[in-house]
Amino acid sequence: MAVLSRSTLATVPIDILRPRHDPATLRTGIVHFGPGAFHRAHQAHYVDRVLDADPRWGIAAVSLRSGSTTEALKRQDGLYTLAVIAPEPKMRVLAAHSDAIGPGEGARLRALLADPAVRIATSTVTEKGYCLGSDGTLDFAHPDIVHDLQQPDAPVSVVGWIVAGLGDRRAAGLAPFAMLCCDNMTGNGTKLRAACAALAQARDPDLAKWIEAEAKFPDSMVDSITPASDAAFLDQVAGTLGLVDAAAVQREPFAQWVLQRFDFADGPDLAAAGVTMTDDVRGYEQAKLRILNGAHSSLAYIGLALGHETVFEAMSDHALGGFVARLMHEDIAASLSRVAGLDLAGYADAVLERFRNPAIRHLLSQIAWDGSQKLPYRLLETVAEALDAGRSVERLAVPVAAWMAFVRRKALSGETITDPLAGMLASAATTGEPVADLLAMRQVFPARVAQDARFREAAAAAFSRFIADDVEALLTR
């Protein structure tokens, strides 16, 4: 079977959308580190829209570790299929990538970062890819950072490459490229700027000052569920296209990219492509964390207690789906400040619609991992604010109690608890006073929540229901 490329694009079935722009006319204006499935399904989708009117912003996909994706993009002239998975799935061929650079092509990458036509660099390398310590600052003991300090002209870390590229531009008298971190960590642009400035400071204090004064590192938030492109999916794409596409990706219909406003003359019109430009990225992050992630955790722990396996199955449970909707609209939304441009009720409804997508198989067991690390931000901050405001915490206590019961079931059955605090949790959850002993864990529960009689009573009452397998009565709240 032939491979998807510019020469075979015309053979793609007419019911599959094709690029409106000519892929051969693209120029490289963006360098992207980490061209995994999320980037190809998300940022590249937005840039593909920009390119319909402005061909200057083609993306050079850069992989520092593995060459499989960049080699596939090279074979396919940067083309690949995006499948939007829904009850009525859609496919579209994207043409956002003008170049691809894999491991061992450092000279080409260095030249691109110094090219005046390149005005933006972006990254999706996961939080650990930035070599940050637990405090969010650059970890100078990280092996990659140690290497980059010793060999600054042959970096191996993303931070090292950014600093090298900015250093070359400063030496050449060029303006810095804007650096857009697209990994979901709070204050991602601020943290990446600080990391780059710290590495530069260790090499050249003047470069560090220039980066801090001149380079743009806007904060951002991104969201879209992107399942892995497994062999079955790639076979399905090939059968539909009649062409092999080793770079095809899939995602849910919902996609969101929130970007902090920053000065960027004659840049790409990202807002016209659907990117939300705002002065309050933190407000959007908090809404996502509490509404989306808080509801996800609630569905996971309550749904597992009811015998459900996936998010869709849990949402198909009328009582549970209604409970989660009320939790989002009445309890969680009340804890959020108003954000310009964000309709909280509409966002909550959109999240519920995403949860009801039967084509997405999102396992509750996976969402339930690492609860001790997630609950403080997803639910317990909301509980604390409700207590301070004098609002009821009866409904908010239910998913927290469900997590306690989940930990107890796992511990008593000898099953693995996937959590950094697994041992401590198992010990606390299997005592004669599991609710009190779990609440005493300050690594999870802040004193403000754990010591409040209203919450303690509500959590204990709900926990007893879960232990007695009498969950349905809790869902009428």
Angle ∠(462,424,446) on CA atoms, nearest 5: 60
Token pair for 477: 């709240």
Query: What's residue 89's pLDDT?
Result: 86
**Residue 243: is its pLDDT beyond 90?**
yes
SS3 category, 260 = strand
Residues 6 or more apart whose CB falls under 8 angstroms from that of 177 comprise 31, 113, 118, 119, 120, 121, 165, 166, 169, 215
Predicted pLDDT of residue 379: 97
pTM value > 0.85:
yes
Query: pLDDT confidence of 244, banded at 50, 70, 90?
Result: very high
Q: Are 347 and 287 in contact (CB under 8 A)?
A: yes
> DSSP per residue over 166-186, as a string?
HHHHHHTTPPPPEEEE-S-ST
User: Residue 329 has what pLDDT?
Assistant: 97
What was the pLDDT predicted at 87?
84
Buried b (16+ CB within 10 A) or exposed e, 194-216: bbbbbbbbbebeebbebbeeebb
Give the pLDDT confidence score for residue 88 in this predicted structure. 85
Number of Cβ within a 10 Å radius of residue 366: 11
Question: CA 160 to CA 196: how far, in whole Å?
Answer: 8
pLDDT tier, 213 (very low <50, low <70, confident <90, very high otherwise): very high
208 DSSP 8-state letter: H
The angle formed by the CA atoms of residues 13, 98 and 41, to the nearest 5 degrees, is: 60
Delineate the domains of the chain, giving CATH numbers in brackets: 9-279 (3.40.50.720), 282-476 (1.10.1040.10)
Mean pLDDT for 263-275 is 94
Dihedral sign from CA coordinates of 422, 465, 441, 366? positive
Contact of 335 with 382, CB cutoff 8 Å: yes
Q: Alpha helix (H) ranges present in 247-393?
A: 281-287, 294-305, 311-316, 318-326, 344-355, 364-367, 371-375, 381-389
Sort residue 74 into left (φ over 0), alpha (ψ -120 to 50) or beta. alpha
**Secondary structure element (H or E) that encloses residue 447, with its range:** helix 447-450
In this model, does residue 211 exceed pLDDT 90?
yes
Tokens for 227?
């399942």
Distance CA 340, CA 279 (A): 9
Mean per-residue pLDDT for 424-435? 96
pLDDT in tens, 14-38: 999 999 999 999 999 999 999 999 9
pLDDT in tens, 158-171: 999 999 999 999 99
Percent over 70 (pLDDT), the chain: 100
- Evaluate if residue 374 carries a pLDDT over 90: yes
**239 has pLDDT over 90:** yes
